[in-house]
Amino acid sequence: MTGLLIEAREEVWPLKEVFRISRGSRTEAQVVVVTVSDGEHVGHGEGVPIKRYKQSIASVLAQIESVKSVPDLDRHLVQKLLPAGAARNALDCALWDLETKISGKRVWELANIPIMSCSRRSVGDAHASHSEAATAREPTVDQVETSFTISLDTPEKMAAGAKAAATKPILKLKLGGENLDLSRVQAVHAGAPNARLLIDANESWSPEHYRKIVPAFQELAVELIEQPFPADADEVLETLDHPIPVCADESCHTTADVPRLKNRYEVINVKLDKTGGLTEALRLCERARESGFKLLIGCMVGTSLGMAPARLLASAAAWVDLDGPLLLARDREHALAYTNGRLGLPSSQLWG
């Protein structure tokens, strides 16, 4: 595309309450919003700088600034000019949005992803798509279940959070690698006995902790364990039993990471702030399914603008974790609709 005007700005969105994981806590979501205009149409995208990967608001803004004056900039060129991360994500998604505005089509039409009403998709069909290799462009349904995150805290406080979210069908629990982890999961299970449970350790476990705690989690019907070990020390997973599927998060950013995950993980967490946008995320989903991995579509803590592109990928996933806006004190206009733990498609006023 020629003659594009690219602008980027920081936005700060307060959270409802403190959000904690094993690496630290926060009280607000800091995001970068990119707008791309051809003079008539405007596209928007959102990225969340990730401290774990040495990203900051300043570094993301600087990366976007570095490509503002590149001639004939488009999504494909952006893949070559910027590394995978929040800056490329925000710009890539803004360019997708601009394409929809220019063409008058929805983003799933441009990506060749058909839409199916959830009422037309049987439970058997849904489970089949999770267990079998899917096509590169599997139909997306208009409603999907998403997990809701209970942040790391004492067992009592996590149980209270679970009771408050007891109507949510799936709860994702942040754990910290200490002896309290089992008590935390037991307390949440007691507080929300009907909820399905996912675990996210955020690289905090040791192999000894894994061996000790996983059998007990199996008895509590935990469905998934996400990133138990540091990304640079996850080879130990090749030597451990996996009675519960293990999901790669910090260990997988793009399609280039997929080959090394074999025999270590059963599931890959696809986040657009890791892949650097929807363009690479579509490739990663395809490569992961071809390689026999199931998918979890995840997110950083951000607004509906950041969730909307990832929502396009959700129907091909075994698990969806796109609850970022639910953790905010308020969301932006034309927000995604969350109803009884189910997430709808974005409106054209929001994105795509």
- 51 DSSP assignment: G
Look at phi and psi of residue 44 and say left if phi exceeds 0, alpha if psi is from -120 to 50, else beta: beta
Q: Are 157 and 184 in contact (CB under 8 A)?
A: no
Pairing of strands 319-320, 294-297: parallel
Nearest partner of 246 among 217, 268, 230, 215, judged by Cα: 268
Pairing of strands 246-248, 222-226: parallel
Residue 262: active-site member: no
- 39 DSSP assignment: S
Q: Provide the b/e sequence for 230-246 (b: ≥16 CB within 10 Å).
A: eeeebeebeeeeeebbb
CB atoms within 10 A of CB 38: 15
Look at phi and psi of residue 197 and say left if phi exceeds 0, alpha if psi is from -120 to 50, else beta: beta
Q: Where are the extended beta strands (E) located within 24-152?
A: 24-37, 42-47, 115-116, 140-141, 143-145, 148-150
CA distance 283 to 264: 21
CB atoms within 10 A of CB 136: 14
Name the active-site residue from 172, 174, 274, 294: 174
Name the active-site residue from 101, 168, 172, 271: 271
Residue 163: active-site member: no
- 19 DSSP assignment: E
* Longest alpha-carbon distance in the chain: 60
User: What residues are paired with 116 via a beta bridge?
Assistant: 141
Pairing of strands 140-141, 143-145: unpaired
Look at the chain and count its residues: 352
Q: Active-site residues: which are they?
A: 174, 271
